[in-house]
Amino acid sequence: MHVAVVGAGALGRLFGVHLATAGERVSFVVRPSRLGRTEPFALLRLNGDRRYRELPEPELVTSVPVDASAIVLAVRAEQIDEALAQVLQSSPPVPVISLTPLLDESLERLERLVGGRTVVAMPAVAGLLESGVVRYVAFRLLPTLVEQRPEHALVLDALTHALLRSGLAARLSEDVRRRNPATTVAFFPLTLALAAAGSAAALARHSDLKELAARACRETLALGRRVGPVEPAAALAARFVTPARLTFALELVRRLAPRAVRFAERHYGDKLVEQNEAMGREILAMGRRHGVSLTAFEELLDACRLDVGSPRKHEERASVI
């Protein structure tokens, strides 16, 4: 199987290197300016087998190879744009497996580009690219879900089995197209709260922001349940979150797993600023369509735009612009 991974950030490298270590051929579709880079793509798992995996000479291309069996889309939601359209519309007629969290509008945009070739996936891994190495966590009991599509059965079955051989839990799912947006919507206020505060410590101290996040979670859980089935863990967290419980959870995780806290701060806050904004707007539009009031969620999104309590975040952003 030849898999073309569109995007060579943390998520694209994570899945691409795993597929390559399972014996599959992998090409990474990148911008022309990145073709000259020759560094290896490396992964370090922080739990489970804790293995270091490396692809010494990743195959970088600027278009999807004509002999590709499948396309794995690993870009952020706001990057489904004209540049991506040119890549996908010139690609061979193979399934496009999206690792990107797709809400209604994003999914519609992608469907317009590739038609019935879209396959929704729900990654159950998270990684952060630092100093050329993707450090990530993955759990055996939380598999990556890949939409079951009869017309692409052979390719999707081969893909999920390759992920399993590589050490990533994965399985086909009939309801992931509804489950993915429902779960994303329900859990999203906690992502915004961390982004707005700038750090877990700042969020633990920010009483008003915690109260706002708790109210927003109740709103988005109601919306998520209108959209589809919500993953049980996300539903439980969204339903029972309170400022006191959030404070306790933040302090406990900071003491027991400081690396996980740092990862969450970077991954869900600083790294995904534009995606948070784009998805926040989509969730507000979904609320209007489904008749669900999202007053607290809208306030939380505004707080995220203002970067309340986050001087550290301003300094870090200034250093990379």
Final residue of a domain: which of 154, 174, 194?
A: 174
User: 208-211, long-range: CB within 8 Å, 24+ apart, which pairs?
Assistant: 209/300, 209/303, 209/308, 209/309, 210/243, 210/246, 210/247, 211/243
Beta strand extents in 67-162 (DSSP E only) = 70-73, 96-98, 118-122, 125-130, 133-138, 144-147
Q: For the chain, what is the mean pLDDT?
A: 87
Please tell me the predicted confidence (pLDDT) of residue 251: 74
Same domain (yes/no): 229, 105: no
* Mean pLDDT, residues 35-39: 83
Please tell me the predicted confidence (pLDDT) of residue 258: 67
Total of domains in the chain: 2
| Residue found under tokens 């729900």 | 122
Final residue of a domain: which of 174, 197, 224?
A: 174
Same domain (yes/no): 57, 40: yes
Q: Is the pLDDT of residue 293 over 70?
A: yes
Percent of the chain exceeding pLDDT 90 equals 55
Same domain (yes/no): 165, 204: no
Which has the higher per-residue pLDDT, 46 or 97?
A: 97
Same domain (yes/no): 110, 195: no
Please tell me the predicted confidence (pLDDT) of residue 202: 86
Same domain (yes/no): 28, 111: yes
For the CA atoms of 234, 236, 238, 241, the dihedral, rounded to the nearest 10 degrees, stands at -130
Which range of residues forms the domain containing residue 39?
2-174
Final residue of a domain: which of 112, 141, 174?
A: 174
**Confidence (pTM):** 0.86
Same domain (yes/no): 186, 303: yes
Q: Is the pLDDT of residue 162 over 80?
A: yes
Same domain (yes/no): 55, 96: yes
Q: Is the pLDDT of residue 264 over 80?
A: no
Q: Which CATH number characterizes residue 268's domain? A: 1.10.1040
Same domain (yes/no): 289, 165: no
With bands split at pLDDT 50, 70 and 90, how would you rate the model's confidence at 16?
very high
Same domain (yes/no): 280, 222: yes
Same domain (yes/no): 89, 10: yes
Q: Which CATH number characterizes residue 11's domain? A: 3.40.50.720
pLDDT tens-digit profile of 92-149?
A: 999 999 998 889 888 998 998 888 899 999 998 988 888 999 999 898 888 999 999 9
Same domain (yes/no): 209, 125: no
pLDDT tens-digit profile of 50-105?
A: 999 999 999 999 999 999 999 999 998 778 888 888 999 899 999 999 998 889 88
With bands split at pLDDT 50, 70 and 90, how would you rate the model's confidence at 23?
very high
Same domain (yes/no): 149, 195: no
